[in-house]
Amino acid sequence: MNKVSNCNECEYLKMYDYGNEIYYCDHADRTDDMGKLGVGELPEKSPEWCPLRKKIPH
């Protein structure tokens, strides 16, 4: 599993487009039910609920 601190580097990043580009996390172990990351752009850092964030040394 890759250690990532930015969602744009993550293999679980998904996007769909219904008038706006909506980014979400498709990781099965996420604690956020929706997994929504952003509309139009990604956040600079992964959200607190990211299952991979715990594996990143700070």
pLDDT tens per residue, range 7-53: 888 899 999 998 999 999 999 988 888 899 999 999 888 888 888 87
Q: Is the pTM of this model over 0.85?
A: no
Predicted confidence at residue 1, as pLDDT, reads: 46
pLDDT tens per residue, range 10-21: 899 999 998 999
Predicted confidence at residue 15, as pLDDT, reads: 93
Kindly tell me if the per-residue pLDDT of 58 is higher than 60: no
Q: How far is CA 48 from CA 3, 18, 29, 52, in A?
A: 14, 26, 13, 10
